[in-house]
Amino acid sequence: MKGKAVSIRVSGQVQGVGFRPFVWQLAREMGLRGQVWNDAQGVGIVAVGEGVEAFAEALTTRAPALARVDAVTVAPYSGAVPEGFEIAPSRGRGAETRVTPDAATCTACAAEIAAQGRRRGYAFTNCTHCGPRFSILNGLPYDRAQTTMAAFPMCPACRAEYEAPGDRRFHAQPVACPECGPRLWYEAGGAEVPGDAVSLAVACLRAGGVVAVKGIGGFHLACDASDPVVLALLRDRKHRPFKPFAVMVAEGDLAALAEVSAADMVLLRDPAAPVVVMRSRHRLPKAVAPGMDSLGVMLPYTPLHHLLLGAFGGPLVMTSGNLSGEPQVIGNAEARDKLAGFADGFLMHNREIARRLDDSVERSTPPMILRRARGRVPGTLPLPPGFEAAPQVLALGGQMKGAICLVKNGQALLGHHLGDLDDALCADEFTKALVDYRALFDHHPAVVAVDAHPGYRATQAGMAMGLPVAEVWHHHAHLAACLADNGWPLDGGKVAGIILDGTGLGPDGTLWGGEVLLGDYRGFTWQAGLRPAPLIGGDRAARAPWRNALVRLDQAGMTDWADALFADAPRDVLRQAAAKGINAPMSSSAGRLFDAVAACLGICPEAQSYEGEAAMRLEALAARCPAGQGGGYEFGQAGQMLDPTPIWAAMRDDLARGIQRGVIAQRFQTGLGLAFAGAARRLVEAGDARAVVVSGGCFQNVGLLGAVLWGLGDTPVLTHQSVPANDGGLALGQAMIAAARVMGGAERA
């Protein structure tokens, strides 16, 4: 065969997605000879024949659905070439390529487990287009021997599929069947129960029991989502009185439970199979999502889930198998030990889980990642223009919603959700993740980036690593994370950042949380912000909304209203602490302002049972009211300070006039959003900023985000796309800032 001979390098997410059989089939179609193989850099190809240019182009345009091609590099080749086209064994070890996230069951595999055949009813059916990936991976290149499937030698039938290039299971590393693969069983009372495992689990669920179900990334606790008695039982056992539960539902039952948009369906059917937050029809008991106007829904994403849901015939609560606040359980022995007090039965299997991966949580409209985990990790983001010379960087995030970020080879890998590092077990998971990611991806950082708060566990871990350290201010990291999420160039110019969240240490020693910053990756200046108020009791103020209401009302000269609202609270003691500055740091936190408003409206004033409860309930109240009822409450302005003082009298007057609490909540959110939008817009209009960036955990609130966007009008604005606006995205911003410093020679040792 005559024709040009070339070597081709394909980089990106190209292993574990059926890329080699795709190349093999494409080469045969185009009459080429050569070979394809996996290695540490991705996929290597040698091809000879007429039309190699079209072949190289098709590697991107016709790539498999799960593939993400970053680059295709073509060079002349003068070596020996096979007579046909063959798939060669993997070469070398190492980690210069991307790893595919776990993918939801494809339609072909879902149909297979329901049809006659050797995989009928088999809970571990998968192919190159679906199934576990990152959750079973022990090392790279991605081959069966480097996964937790290594313990299951393939039977002849599976081996034949695995070795046939034209089969959809060609080199699908988790391929298995009942003859050779993992097995499923049901346990109760500490012993395996004879019989069909799924049928036994369904019988327990129908009897009002709770079943611990081992999935891809960990255990769920499942129960009948329509039974208020078992919902109350699960909440009591899990010590989770009000935090919403996610629900798993068959696609045909979706419309009865939630207002499902076309965008919702696209997201639900995505291979990542996240929990999608959408507007509830309130057909399920209130105990599923107390005080919420929304419902977190996911479709079955493993064959086991398809079998269980199909046999049960209704929606199931699927909540993390853990004590509230602790890491999700992943091992069988661990489950028996930790979940025995929660579950009446266990649906178990013997395929090990290599790492804990919670379900990702997202919204479709506006696009929003609330928790980045299973199905999204370890997907990477390309570094923005100007970062081509960025060194390897390790960034460790903050104290809440822990996640780490690795920068290498022009990509940023933001790790999975690790929980709040206040919890000792979550802190242990953080330490394990550091070791795991660095080993798996062969990462050797030149610098470690940390939050500037010295009390954060992640910061302390970074300081102890013996590497040069880049300390990054919390809210600068939020700004940079949103810039990187949108591919903003290193020299793209300054932006006005609206950063609204709980708290983060500011350069002035106070706790920020409601700021307008002017800056870029290299630095920032403070331009405007909420008038500060004391956080009496420090972290206790975040758990008791009435404390924040007390100080804000006192600040506004409305102590009489505070006394009436919180008559039974220890007001005098707290006022003395505030006056003397005893454990009462000043803070501009927008999150605590939300708490204060919620407390004045009677929303969990004494205590929050989970982080953000008051703000989420306030948002739910506002969402039930038609938009634009009376506009927003006016904030005062003294110089660069945005002062909430005027809103309290307006709120009290509205309450006295019988205005609905939802309208009041909406007017607060609108007023807050418009106040900050105005301050940021003026920086763009003055030519100081090229666009507005919106970041921070408060922007998980759709109503607040909408108010800011409305207030900005046609001003260019960047919002988060693939990275959480909350602290789960913090490490990406830290990494970008550290990389900019190193390239500019400004790293700190």
Residue 411 domain-assigned (yes or no): yes
Read off the pLDDT of residues 479-530 as tens digits, 9 standing for 90 and up.
999 999 999 999 999 999 999 999 999 999 999 999 999 999 999 999 999 9
- Does residue 38 carry a catalytic annotation? yes
Q: Which residues contact 123 (CB under 8 A, 6 or more apart)?
A: 113, 182, 184, 198, 302, 303, 304, 307, 349
Q: Give the integer Cα–Cα distance in Å for 605 and 708.
A: 27
Residue 662: CATH number of its domain: 3.30.420.40
346 with 451, same domain: the answer is no
Residue 209: CATH number of its domain: 3.90.870.30
Using the 3D structure, point to which of 87, 103, 130 is the last residue of a domain: 87
658 with 683, same domain: the answer is yes
Q: In terms of C-beta distances under 8 Å and separation of at least 24 residues, what long-range contacts does 335-340 make, across chains too?
A: 335/212, 335/214, 335/219, 336/187, 336/190, 339/212, 339/219, 339/221, 340/190
Amino acid at 389: A
Q: Which of 410, 309, 401 is nearest to 358 (CA)?
A: 401
CB 158 within 8 Å of CB 170: no
- Does residue 351 carry a catalytic annotation? no
622 with 695, same domain: the answer is yes
Read off the pLDDT of residues 548-576 as tens digits, 9 standing for 90 and up.
999 999 999 999 999 999 999 999 999 99
**pLDDT at position 748, please?**
40
Backbone angles phi, psi at 333, to 5 degrees: -65, -40
Q: How many domains does the chain have?
A: 4
Q: Give the integer Cα–Cα distance in Å for 733 and 405.
A: 9
Read off the pLDDT of residues 733-748 as tens digits, 9 standing for 90 and up.
999 999 999 998 644 4
Low-confidence ranges of the chain (pLDDT < 70): 1-2, 93-98, 626-630, 745-749
CA 726 vs. chain centroid, Å, equals 10
Residue 33 domain-assigned (yes or no): yes
Please provide the distance, in angstroms rounded to a whole number, between the alpha carbons at the two ends of the chain: 59
Q: Which residues contact 309 (CB under 8 A, 6 or more apart)?
A: 248, 249, 250, 300, 316
Read off the pLDDT of residues 62-104 as tens digits, 9 standing for 90 and up.
999 888 898 899 999 988 888 899 988 887 765 555 678 999 9
Q: Which residues contact 710 (CB under 8 A, 6 or more apart)?
A: 673, 674, 677
* Residue whose tokens read 């609206």: 498
Q: Give the integer Cα–Cα distance in Å for 140 and 93.
A: 6
**pLDDT at position 747, please?**
43
- Number of Cβ within 10 Å of residue 581's Cβ equals 10
Using the 3D structure, point to which of 333, 363, 393 is the last residue of a domain: 363
Using the 3D structure, point to which of 363, 392, 415 is the last residue of a domain: 363
**pLDDT at position 495, please?**
98
Let me know if 663 is exposed, middle or buried by CB neighbors in 10 A (0-12, 13-18, 19+): middle
Residue 540 domain-assigned (yes or no): yes
CB 164 within 8 Å of CB 125: no
426 with 348, same domain: the answer is no
CB 316 within 8 Å of CB 308: yes
Residue 63: CATH number of its domain: 3.30.70.100
Question: Which of 33, 38, 133, 548 does the annotation list as catalytic?
Answer: 38
Q: Give the integer Cα–Cα distance in Å for 345 and 135.
A: 24
pTM for this model (two decimals): 0.93
Domain limits for position 68: 4-87
707 with 747, same domain: the answer is no
Residue 748: CATH number of its domain: 3.30.420.360
661 with 603, same domain: the answer is yes
Q: Which residues contact 351 (CB under 8 A, 6 or more apart)?
A: 124, 132, 136, 148, 149, 152, 181, 182
